[in-house]
Structure 1
């Protein structure tokens, strides 16, 4: 058995009896070894350093459980380090999956909410559109919902273009007025920006 191995076992025995000086010496001797394993597995220097400190605190608490028959001090530390790295990787992966799932649900919730709001807005506008005079309704509906030009509307409605423009203008005014009376302010997307 090497002198270094015997020194590691001696430090573990002293740590088992509560020696903080032994913990400091043990840390100085094995910190780089533990850190290299952790960094190789975690690929993150901060995580590896954090895990390294956790390993030495655990080693201090469980030093009395070390059994030389089961392997060297280095093997004992390597097993502890790999085990804690795997735990941490699983925890990180689970956290990332939860975040991804939450983001997906939020997007779905937003999409559903936007869809419901859009449907409600369409229904509200249709209901209010039915409250304005027929000629104004026909002009506004043709211009905004069927994308017809003023000329096309003039031909369909058998009215001059100037009259079509007036019908649209008054129809929009009446539509806004009716919507305001219902307390509706729209989604704030597009359209008239005046309050």
Structure 2
């Protein structure tokens, strides 16, 4: 996963109370956290609320952290997933959907897709159908499996996913292998016209 230049320095400064350093981290990570949360909830308002709560919780926790040891990316994603889990327990149901757009790019729901993707792409209908199929497949997987697949697609390493999911490295490897296999099986079944 591509990281912010000088992230270590900004993290240390933010832990020592620098608002400017924290704002720089927020500017970099907020769109990524928002995209992940939206891909898991498909609810713009809930995504905005969870994203705000994520960075508020991070801001409150930073003074207690050791900046030299803190890896900001896995830490902020873990906070976001914990916020989502809390909301999920409260609501008892959140719809999980993929984060790729019909153009195959990562969704950023705050910006409309480029016009050429809507008008000139001759495969637009197929891409929309593919996106719908992926959404239906992910909705049938356990939430932890869908989250692992989404984090893997975001480019996180197994070690980072383990840290974010608060699980062991071997458990993440195993879950990802099972999740990929389950995804393929459900995908094939639904792609052949199965319903369920």
Same fold (TM over 0.5): no
Give me the TM-score of the superposition, normalised by structure 1.
Answer: 0.41
- Structure with a larger share of its residues in helix: 1
Structure showing greater Rg: 1
Higher relative contact order (CA 8 A, sep 6+): 2
